[in-house]
Amino acid sequence: MTRTIAALGVALIGTTAWAPSAPRATLAGSVTGTITFTGTPPKMKPIDMAKEPSCAKQHATPIETETVVTGPNNALQYVVVYVSAGDQGSETPTTPVHLEQKGCQYIPHVVVMHAGQSLEIANNDQTSHNIHPLPTKNPEWNKSQPPGSPPIVTKYDNPDFIPVKCNVHPWMHGYHIVLATSHFGLSGNDGTYTITGLPPGKYTLTAWHEKFGTMTQDVTVGAQPTKADFQFKATPY
């Protein structure tokens, strides 16, 4: 009996002693959380697209600017959460990230990618757009994209937080977030995000919002999914 127990124990210890390099279970080696805010966020204004009738008619009611997008229960959308310290290094994914221009809007408003990862930008509108990123750590460029032309395929070599605009349609704003890691998540309308594929260990997470700044949190990732919530202070201005 004791030998069986001992054997089982050795087997148990043996299995737990292995550090899994890939998640064996669906949530192991991951971080998840909810981003919320306290205080009063600024009011978003409706966008007047009268100058571009082909886009205006795509929206039954005018859409609002997306600087601060909130969800139920004070959830905050479009927050990028990423590993800023402790990462063992990551490879550049070979699959491209997609960005769409539709209804004179950037969809999604914030697109996140690994440095060097391919970004494909499509114009699905009946009007020309120009894509004009304003990086600080990458070269600035500006390209015109008439309707019906193929997607612009590009990449950024250096980590950067890049505001992007269309000069023809001044209400169009977006962000291209370029990170040195592939361990990141973007919060949805319910405020939740998930980062997967993390080996167990100690990490520092940084949460970034385009208006409310950054917050950091240290987490320890183990076999069980780790919870890391962030609560931003919202200001009306």
Provide the minimum distance between the beta carbon of 54 and another protein in the complex, in angstroms, as a whole number.
9
Residue 112 CA to residue 114 CA, distance in Å, equals 7
User: How remote is the C-alpha of 174 from its chain's centroid?
Assistant: 12
Residue 168 is a binding residue for another protein (CB under 8 A): yes
Look at residues 145, 143, 154 and name the one whose alpha carbon lies nearest to residue 120: 154
Residue 155 is a binding residue for another protein (CB under 8 A): no
Residue type, 27: L
Residue 169 is a binding residue for another protein (CB under 8 A): yes
Residue 213 is a binding residue for another protein (CB under 8 A): no
The stretch near another protein (CB under 8 A) out of 19-27, 59-67, 97-105, 138-146 is: 138-146
The stretch near another protein (CB under 8 A) out of 145-153, 183-191, 201-209, 210-218 is: 145-153
Residue 170 is a binding residue for another protein (CB under 8 A): yes
The per-residue DSSP string of 91-116 comes to PPPSSPEEEEEETTEEESSEEEEETT
Residue 46 is a binding residue for another protein (CB under 8 A): no
CB burial class (10 A; 0-12, 13-18, 19+) of residue 199? middle
Answer yes or no: are the C-beta atoms of 114 and 181 closer than 8 Å. yes
Residue 9 is a binding residue for another protein (CB under 8 A): no
Instruction: By CB under 8 A, name the one of 28, 97, 122, 134 that touches another protein.
Output: 134
Provide the minimum distance between the beta carbon of 45 and another protein in the complex, in angstroms, as a whole number.
15
Instruction: Give the strand pairing for 80-85 and 201-209.
Output: antiparallel
Which H/E stretch holds residue 11? Answer: helix 2-17
Q: Report how many residues bind another protein under the rule CB under 8 A.
A: 22
State the residues that interact with another protein by CB under 8 A. 51, 53, 127-128, 130-132, 134, 139-146, 149, 152, 167-170
